[in-house]
Structure 1
Amino acid sequence: MCCSVGVARALGLALLPLALCCMLANLLLLFPMGESSYLQDRQLSSYIWYFGGLGGGGLMMLVPVATFTSLGKCSCCWNESLMMCGSVLAAVVGMFGSGYCFVLSGMTLMQGPHCFTALGWRYPFSNDGGRYLLEPDSWSQCLQPVSIVEWNVSLLCILLCLAVLEFLLCLLQLGVGLVNAVCRPCCYKQEYSLHA
């Protein structure tokens, strides 16, 4: 049990910087090249307003972070088993949050940026199925914000990678928590019957 508690705490500590980086990346998406005027005029990609990194990969991830790092505070065997069950639920919350972040980041990437072109404000790459990602020469269609394609692609790729890492860490704790939640009561019963 001590080993699994140690693993959970390590996973919680590993998730914390990932969650903070997700929140930071999402906030940077709101301020292309550090400018706030596009946020005020709501001239940003529509999916950015769903806050995949801030809410899903960030704030929701604080639930497993808090749960995993608080494991092992009680020495009672049955409380430890209940805490492992709680860690399973927290892992599911974390997997949902990271999945939300991944899906929204992918959709935003496929849609492309909302930018000012020769034809006005529009989504110039929304109908090309993401092919613009492999055609950097076409990025010059976006005149404003300056370098918005590079800005969005970089931050969204970071969010995708962070979401995958968060999902894998939560999945690992889900497995560890399930094994301990199921096996620990059985071990406790066997120990009790041996001492009786």
Structure 2
Amino acid sequence: MGLQKCRGCLSSLLIPLALWSIVVNILLYFPNGKTSYATSNQLTNYVWYFEGICFSGVMMLLLAALLITLERDTFYQCCQSESCNKTYRSFISVVLSLLGIAFSGYSVIISTLGLVQGPFCNTPAGWGYIFKDTAGGYLIAYSSWSQCTEPAHVVEWNIILFSILITLSGLQVIICFLKVMAELKQILCGTYSVFIQPGII
């Protein structure tokens, strides 16, 4: 009973994380609260990968909804045996959770690349990625941030939002991994670890 509650709780936790990922990714399009930079394509290229909106956002919401549905007793019965039904439901949950790891892992990678590259900003030499060759060293070189004159405070804006996206997506990876482990334990060590029941043709 405790394991069942844990599995249901893990699936539900994915929903707020996905919603926050969407919100944070949208904020990246409006540095300094202005829309002009998005319309003129003066944003870091990694925000156009939609990692927070699509992958750790909408796709994770769909996966969470499917996982929660699988955990309900009213879910479609595919076998005559209750043991068989529970086994297949756990197997599908494992597959969905692995997809969740892939989606959120993609978001972690893209957000990390965006953080390391630094923002696309205006400098005395013109628009460009002035921190792309620092390998992320600019993150602790606070004095260099003033080189980005436009959008205002874009360095802090990108660092904070990309860091939040990495955290949210990282939590999704952990939750999906724990979900896989819980379901595998239920299949392999639980009371319904038999896929095909004897005598059922």
Q: What is the TM-score normalised by the length of structure 1?
A: 0.90
Q: Per-residue displacement from partner, 1:28-62 (whole Å, max 9, x unpaired)?
A: 00111211100000100111100111112111212
Name the residue aligned to 2:25: 26
Residue identity in the other structure for 1:148:
V
1:103 to 109, 130, 147: 109
Query: Which structure 1 residue ranges, 5 or more long, are not aligned?
Result: none
1:57 aligns with 2:56: yes
1:5 aligns with 2:7: no
Q: Per-residue displacement from partner, 1:123-151 (whole Å, max 9, x unpaired)?
A: 01001111100011100111110000000
Q: Is the 8 A contact 2:25 2:52 kept in 1?
A: yes
Shift of 1:21: 0.6
Instruction: Name the SS for the 1:72 alignment partner.
Output: coil
Aligned equivalents of 2:194, 2:97: Cα separation in 1: 23
Aligned equivalents of 2:7, 2:91: Cα separation in 1: 12
Distance 1:89-1:135 versus aligned 2 partners, 3 A rule: same
Instruction: Name the SS for the 1:60 alignment partner.
Output: helix
Name the residue aligned to 1:41: 40
Distance 1:186-1:22 versus aligned 2 partners, 3 A rule: closer
Aligned equivalents of 1:3, 1:72: Cα separation in 2: 15
Instruction: Name the SS for the 2:66 alignment partner.
Output: helix
Q: Is the 8 A contact 2:83 2:194 kept in 1?
A: no
Name the residue aligned to 1:17: 16
Structure 2 matches for 1:46-195, cutoff 5 A?
Answer: 46-70=45-69, 71-74=71-74, 76-183=82-189, 184-186=191-193
Aligned equivalents of 1:154, 1:38: Cα separation in 2: 18
Structure 1 ranges of 4+ moved more than 4 A: 187-190
Residue identity in the other structure for 1:65:
A
Instruction: Name the SS for the 1:121 alignment partner.
Output: strand
Q: Is the 8 A contact 2:18 2:58 kept in 1?
A: yes
Residue identity in the other structure for 1:36:
T
Aligned equivalents of 1:64, 1:6: Cα separation in 2: 18
Q: Is the 8 A contact 2:86 2:192 kept in 1?
A: no
